[in-house]
Chain A
Amino acid sequence: MNNRRKPITILLADDDAEDRLLAREALEESRVSNKLDTVVDGEELLDYLNRRGPYQSLEGKPLPGLILLDLNMPRKDGREALREIKGDPNLRRIPVVVLTTSQAEEDIYRTYDLGVNSFITKPVTFDGLVDVIKALSQYWVEFVELPKD
């Protein structure tokens, strides 16, 4: 119903190379045609969003329409990155979906308190991951209106 929109870029922050690859394959498997960019920790995520360091050349390009965020990452973890994104008036409106192996109630509460748009526990199987990516894209790409950059 929202075909008037430009396709959005999905940005995934995950320190595990295999998980990044699996997410990319699951997107292809579920026929999601959106571009996927990946970063490996919270520092790189904030550099990407603020067009700093190696991402200076992205200056002026549209921000991602959706961020998929792992929680446990080195340097800057997902909780801290989420706090910074939701505390930044230029970034806070970008929807952030936590995608983590954590099932800890405390992580669920804390990230919702910090303003996460949803919290998803990563399935352990590839088929499970494909199902999650399908549900994610059907909801966010097909029905939800995302803020214009």
Chain B
Amino acid sequence: MKPTRRNILLADDDPDDRMLIRDALQESQSQEQLTCVENGEELLDYLRHQGAFSSLDEKARPYVILLDLNMPRKDGREALREIKADPHLRRIPVIVLTTSQAEEDIARTYDLGASSFIIKPRDFETLVRLLRTIDEYWFETVQLPSGEN
């Protein structure tokens, strides 16, 4: 039987970063599936099956969200606030993945309920190790609330 591919949702406005993360995930031999959105508005639309995502299967829910902070339209901080205030979405773990190293961003996003805050590695090799570590931690070690609830 083919194992179910679990969905990781990435919100990042930079197409190069989206491609690098996709390549690094593949390189890390993760079995998870990556879906990308480009800003906080699209992220909320995806999670709520609205707008361009209204035809999504009603069970389609990411297991974890990788969230960039600085994005146009709706940034990561605001998207995080909305996700954690929504009783239907708040239990999905949100991992902030950003170039920001600002102490204030770290403190504020944990306050808002981020599961973890990770600074985007600058080299590809470390990015691959990061994605392998994320995969081993969130999908092999942790019990996630099922993506279907």
Chain A interface (Cβ < 8 Å from any Cβ of B): 1-2, 89, 92-95, 103, 105, 108-109, 112-113, 115, 117-121, 131-132, 135-136, 138-140, 142-148
Residue on A with the closest CB to B137?
A: A139
Contacts of B117 in A (CB 8 A): 144-147
Interface residues on chain B, size class:
20 to 34
A146→B103 CA distance, assembly (Å): 9
Contact at B130–A143, with CB atoms within 8 Å?
yes
The dominant DSSP class at the A interface is mixed
Contacts of A112 in B (CB 8 A): 90-91, 93, 145
Contact at B91–A103, with CB atoms within 8 Å?
no
Contact at A140–B91, with CB atoms within 8 Å?
no
- Chain B residues 10-69 with CB under 8 Å of chain A are none
Contacts of B130 in A (CB 8 A): 143
Chain B interface (Cβ < 8 Å from any Cβ of A): 87, 90-91, 93, 101, 103, 106-107, 110-111, 113, 115-119, 121, 126, 130, 133-134, 136-138, 140-146, 149
Contact among A1, A109, A119, A147 with B110 in the assembled complex (CB-CB below 8 Å): A147
Contact at A139–B133, with CB atoms within 8 Å?
yes
Contact at B140–A135, with CB atoms within 8 Å?
yes
**Residue with the greatest number of chain A CB neighbours at <10 A, chosen from B134, B137, B140:** B137
Contact at A136–B106, with CB atoms within 8 Å?
no
Contact among B101, B103, B110, B115 with A118 in the assembled complex (CB-CB below 8 Å): B115
A101→B116 CA distance, assembly (Å): 23
